[in-house]
Amino acid sequence: MDIITLTTDFGMDDAYVAAMKGVILSINPKVTIVDICHTIEPQNIAQAAFVLSTTYHYFPEGTIHIVVVDPGVGTERRAVLLTTPWAFFLAPDNGVLSYIIEETPPEDLQAIALSNPHFWLFPVSATFH
């Protein structure tokens, strides 16, 4: 079973969470999407890092954890894919994955900058890209 978790500061009062889920499901309609939290305080990287670090352990091996909490969203800040032996983490390169990095042996980590436009949603928006 493919599982993707979502942790964002989008809130639940607009269409952003639904749009994100729609994009994911258009790529893989069989994936299970789990909402960890969408009420992270706006742009609070430390809070998002803490919430993720206290929840990811409870998911099956191979789970993809997506975090969208970034004061620099819509800027040139790159996204990063962090792989570990048990999970994948997709997030802005802003420190939100710091707890994951600290508790994982360096030899078990691989970070990949996601810079290939093939994987971007066009046109690039201030919220999604």
pLDDT digits (tens, 9 = 90+) for 63-76: 999 999 987 665 66
- Both tokens of residue 26? 């258009």
Which residue type, as a one-letter code, is found at position 1?
M
Angstrom distance (rounded) from CA 108 to CA 24: 27
The architecture that CATH gives domain 3-119 is 3-Layer(aba) Sandwich (3.40)
Residue 12 pLDDT: 92
pLDDT digits (tens, 9 = 90+) for 9-65: 999 999 999 999 999 999 999 999 999 999 999 999 999 999 999 999 999 999 999
Which residue type, as a one-letter code, is found at position 118?
H
Q: Residue ranges per domain, the chain?
A: 3-119
| Three-class secondary structure of residue 69 per DSSP | coil
| Three-class secondary structure of residue 114 per DSSP | strand
